[in-house]
A = this chain, B = another copy of it.
Amino acid sequence: MREGRLKHFGWGREGEGLTPEEEGFVLDRARARFGVQDFEQVEPPALADLALAPPRLVPPASLKPICSSERYDRAAHTYGKAYEDYVRALGGDYAAAPDVVAYPRSEAEVAAVLDWAGGSDAAAIPFGGGSSVVGGIEPRVDRRRYRASVTLDMREMGRVLEVDSVSRAARIQGGAFGPALEAALKPHGLTLRHFPQSFEYSTLGGWIATRSGGHFATLYTHIDELVESLRVVTPQGVLESRRLPGSGAGPSSDRLFIGSEGILGIITEAWMRLQARPRFRAGCAVRFKDFFSAARALRVVAQAGLYPANCRILDPEEAYNTGAGDGTAAIMVLAFESADHPLEPWMRRALECCADHGGAPEGTAAADSHREGAAERWRNAFIRMPYARERTVKRAIIGDTFETAITWERFETFHDKVKAATEAAIRTATGRAGQVTCRFTHVYPDGPAPYFTFQALGRHGALLEQWTAIKTAASDALIAAGGTITHHHAVGRGHRPWYDRERPALFAAALKAAKQALDPQGLLNPGVLIDP
């Protein structure tokens, strides 16, 4: 099934990437944006040229068959896919490389690796697909406290073990990648229908550990609601919750592990709630004169109890940058889907809500129109977007995204403040104007999840500093204005300073105490969420 190995630098597998046409599209827009013709280009070092310290740890004989300290394995597990990761990798900085990468095939082997790490004073870093954009899987650990680091790559535990078609649920291993998981469910007419942007290169365990955001723009937005029960291997033993459709027996055990980002244990299995594969669809793109008009329409749709599967909005510039629009209008991508019933009444009412705020559908709201026009152009751009970063970073283009959530009554002021702070930081950090655009990825009756993209032209040698200044200003602004540091990108190591300001201090104390109970040595993913 796997055509090539995952890149150690870049998105996806070796041999994959933007086509020359796609690269041309991205670079042309960057040329126009920054008013330049050529970019200074720096190539990443070849794998063979990376300076890796000798491994500080040698696995015991019983674990040798599942461990590697090969150059490729260590390099490919050093970084996630954050912009700063690309910059540091471009500069050849692999100081944080794990000493050993383990590929456990069973819970017993996961437990054995944890025992070995504990006995060796090594940090243990859980690893799914490695698509973290917040430093969640980087073995950046305090060398005074940890002698070494071991990454547990869960890819060998990637199967669907059991399917219950009656209750619509499946028991799936934590290391299952998106495509493999869906392929195993398809013959049953079922789907998890959780499609984060990283779908192809991320795993179920990773989604659960990071509260990943998926396909559904309303209702079941996060993976959280799709979890029926969990199995977790902690340094203190295995924990398993019951398969239950609902319970009120104390605080939810699953909710402690959902979003725990690998600091409490390693998610080895979950019973996941599935959907029947949709047979009915109604979808279209709707044009609005500006972003706030689209947002006001969307608020009404979100509060109407219609629950569209998709109702993303793009501001005019973002629509232009992704090829979904011409830059003169905000676009809403609106879709309903069902395995059970035709959706015309739902779609009709949603379009009325849009019309009340000046929204005009593009073309017809036909069953397959989500595969045409602006909606489809945006969808393609969405899937291909992650491949751009390895091309743009080489050219000192700073392109990154950050996302948040805020209640409706604060949204417009919030948007303007965050956008202005980010634009100002770009100008200060790079000496020239950049661009900040916004879309909504998910919406709730009480507020949206805005997703910002920023573009700046940096300078090789100063990229990390420039990016940090912009990221810091944006994060400071959104925390000050009442948002969350992340709606679905997680906290990891990168978001710690702002998470620490957002999170109630007493909850940090409770979480630290819970970690102490499950991981008394502080082996697991130190530095993520809390200090170990």
Contacts and interface: CB of A to CB of B under 8 A. Distances in A.
A195 to B, nearest CB: 16
Nearest to A241: B504
Interface centre among A211, A245, A305, A505 (most CB of B within 10 A): A245
Interface string A117-131: 000000000000000
Interface centre among A169, A448, A491 (most CB of B within 10 A): A169
Contacts of A249: 259, 484-486, 490-491, 495, 499, 502-503
Interface of A: 164, 166-169, 210-213, 219, 221-222, 228, 234, 236-253, 255-261, 264, 273, 275-276, 299, 303-307, 338-341, 345, 349, 405-409, 442-449, 482-491, 495, 499, 502-507, 509-514, 516-518, 529
Nearest to A303: B168
Contact of A213 (B248, B305, B444, B510): B248
A344 to B, nearest CB: 8
A260 B409 CA distance: 30
A338 B249 CA distance: 30
Contacts of A257: 251
A475 to B, nearest CB: 12
Given A168-B303, A251-B258, A510-B256, A407 B518 contact: no
Given A164-B407, A252-B255, A487 B246 contact: yes
Contacts of A168: 303, 445-446
**Number of identical monomers bound together in the oligomeric complex:** 2
Contacts of A255: 251-252, 255-256
A407 B167 contact: yes
Given A246-B222, A406-B244, A517-B513, A256 B259 contact: no
8 contacts: A245-B406, A245-B443, A247-B405, A249-B490, A249-B495, A250-B259, A255-B255, A509-B518
Nearest to A260: B251
Contact of A250 (B260, B506, B518): B260
Given A169-B407, A245-B407, A247-B484, 7 more contacts: A167-B407, A167-B446, A240-B504, A248-B490, A251-B258, A306-B341, A510-B518
A405 B167 contact: no
Contacts of A529: 250
Contacts of A275: 445
A504 B231 CA distance: 10
A237 B167 contact: no
Contacts of A304: 338-341
A237 B505 CA distance: 10
A514 B167 CA distance: 34
Given A486-B248, A487-B248, A253 B507 contact: yes
A509 B232 CA distance: 14
Contact of A259 (B240, B251, B486): B251
A247 to B, nearest CB: 4
Contact of A409 (B167, B338, B512): B167
A481 to B, nearest CB: 11
Contacts of A407: 164, 166-167, 169, 228, 243-245
B253 A504 contact: yes
Contact of A514 (B276, B444, B504, B510): B510
Contacts of A305: 307, 338-341
